[in-house]
A and B are shown apart, each in its own frame.
Chain A
Amino acid sequence: MEIKDLSDKTGEWLRGTGKESDIVISSRIRLARNIAGFPFLSRSNLKQRKEIESLLRKTIVESDITKDISYVNLNNATPVDKLLLVERHLISKEHAEGEGDRGVAFGKSETISLMINEEDHLRVQVIRSGFELKNTWETTDEIDNILGESLNFAFSARFGYLTACPTNVGTGMRVSVMVHLPALGMTKHIEKVFNAVGKLGLVVRGLYGEGTKVSGDLYQISNQFALGKSEKEIISIIESVIPRITSYERMARKALVLESKDQLEDRVWRSYGMLKAARMITSEEILQLLSQVRMGVNIGLIDDIEMQTLNELFVLTLPGHLQKLQGCELDSTQRNIIRASYVRKRLDGL
C-alpha cells in the first residue's frame, strides 16, 4: 500500500463502532521502547541512527505482527505525505518534523502503527474505534512480546523500561481516549471535568496530543504517570473515569434538549445546512460544524448520516488529506473551496 491509497479512505478506528461510540471516538495505547546498547536518539550519531532504523525496520517487517504491513521512510517523504500521516494519527507531529533516518510501519487497517526513531527508538501504537481499552491493550502487549523476542529493550528492575524522557519511564505507556463532548462544552461544564480528571493524575489534551488546541469539542484523556502502577492498573483507572465523563455528557445533552430545545435544534440544523450548502469552509469552522451535526445525530435529530461518515469527515477534510486528494499543493483559499465541495459531495448537498 502507498500513501496515495490512504487519502480517500480512513482507518478502522473511525468506523464509529465499539462501546460508547456515540461519545468515545477512539481508544489508543502506545508504548515507548529503546534498544539496549544504543544511546537514546538525542545522543546517537548518524551511523547509530541508521543502524537502529534498519534493525527495527527489519525486525518489524519480518515479524508476523500484522498482515499487509507498509513502511514509509520519513526521511524522504514529502511534506504533504507527512502531514497526511499526522492527520491520520499514524505518526506524531514531532516525528514528522524530526530529522534523519526514521520511519513508520503500519497495517492495512491502520489499527497498528510502529514509529521508528521518534523521541524513542520505537513507539508501538494501537488504536481502535470506541471505548475498547481491553482489546487495545491485548494487541499492544502481544506486539511488544513478539518484538521483545528478538530485540533487547533497555530495562531496569527499578525504573522499568528506560525512555529518553523521564516522563515516560516505567511502563512506557500512554493511554489516550478520544471523546466528543459538545454539550459539556456548550454548558461550560467542561472545566469541572478537567479538574476532576486532573485530581486522578490524568490530563486532557487536544486532538493531536500534547500542546495541541482543542477543536471540534474533541478531547483526549490520558494518563500522566507511567511508573509505579502496572499497565493494567493504569488502564483500569482510565476505564473507571471514562463512563463517568460520558454519562455527564449525556446528562448535559438531555438538559439542553429539555431547557433550550429550540436553540439546540436551530444550532444543529444550521450547521447541517452549512455543511450541505457552503462554498468555502475553513478547517476551524468545519470541526465546529461537524461537531454540532454529530451531536444532532446522537440525540436523534438527524437520521440520514452514518456516524462513520461524520467521523471520517473530521479527518478527510484536513489540509493534508485535501491536498493529497487533489494531487497538488493548495493555498488556504483553495483548500476552503475544495473542502466545502468535498463535504457537499459526501453529504449529497446542494
Chain B
Amino acid sequence: MKCESCNKKLATVHLTEIVDNEKKERHFCEDCAQNVTNHFPKAPSPSDILTSLINQVSPEIREMSKTTCPVCGLSYLEFRSQGRLGCPMDYNVFKKGLLPLIERMHGSSQHVGKVPANAGVEIIKKNELIQLRKELNEAVEKEDYEKAAELRDKIYELSGNVEDGD
C-alpha cells in the first residue's frame, strides 16, 4: 500500500482517526506521518491531568482554578494545596471559592464580633446592625417581644444612614 499523502513511498504508519463518530483508516509513509502527527492535539500535561482530577472532587475549585491574586500572586490552587492565604486581598479575589469553605468551618460567613476602632464609622455601624439583627431574631424566637421592639427601634435608628448589604 502506498502512502496516501505523497503517493510514492510505502505506507508503514497506519492511523485510526475518529471524526464525528466516524472511524477512518489513514495510511502514511514515515516522513509524511511525521508531518501529520505534529498537527494532532498534544497529550495533556501532568498538571492538566491533576487539575481535571481536582475538578471532579470539588466543583468550586474548577471555577476558581484560573484565579490568581493580582496583589500577592497566589493562585487559588496554591491556596487549596497549602491551606494558607497570601494577603488580605485574597479574601476578595477568592471570595467565591472561600465562602463555602468558611461556611463549613465556622457555620457562618458574616463577622459579628469586634471591629477595630479605626475601621471607619460606616463599617462599625454596619457590623453593629448585623449584630442587632441577630439579637432581634433571637428575641423573636424566645418570644421576648419587649426586647424585640427595643432592638427594632435601634435598628431603625441606625439603618437610616447606612447602606446595607455586603
Residues of A within 8 A of B (CB): 34, 36, 38-40, 42-43, 119, 141, 144-145, 148-149, 152-167, 169-171, 173, 201, 224-231
Contact = CB atoms under 8 A, between A and B. Distances in A.
B115 interface: yes
Given A152-B116, A158-B109, A170-B106, 18 more contacts: A36-B88, A39-B72, A42-B84, A43-B74, A149-B118, A156-B88, A159-B91, A160-B113, A164-B84, A169-B102, A169-B106, A171-B113, A227-B108, A228-B112, A229-B108, A229-B113, A230-B112, A231-B114
26 contacts: A39-B71, A40-B72, A43-B72, A144-B114, A154-B88, A155-B119, A156-B88, A157-B111, A157-B115, A157-B126, A158-B109, A159-B91, A161-B114, A161-B116, A162-B91, A163-B85, A165-B85, A166-B102, A170-B106, A170-B113, A171-B111, A173-B113, A226-B106, A227-B108, A227-B111, A228-B112
A227 B72 contact: no
Contacts of A231: 113-114
Nearest to A147: B116
A148 B118 contact: yes
Contacts, number: 117
Grouping DSSP codes into helix (H, G, I), strand (E, B) and loop, the B interface class, with mixed when no group exceeds half, is loop
Grouping DSSP codes into helix (H, G, I), strand (E, B) and loop, the A interface class, with mixed when no group exceeds half, is loop
Contacts of A156: 88, 91-92, 111
Contacts of A228: 106-112
Interface of B: 71-74, 82-88, 91-92, 98, 101-102, 105-119, 123, 126-127, 131, 166
Given A43-B87, A159-B91, A152 B118 contact: yes
B103 to A, nearest CB: 9
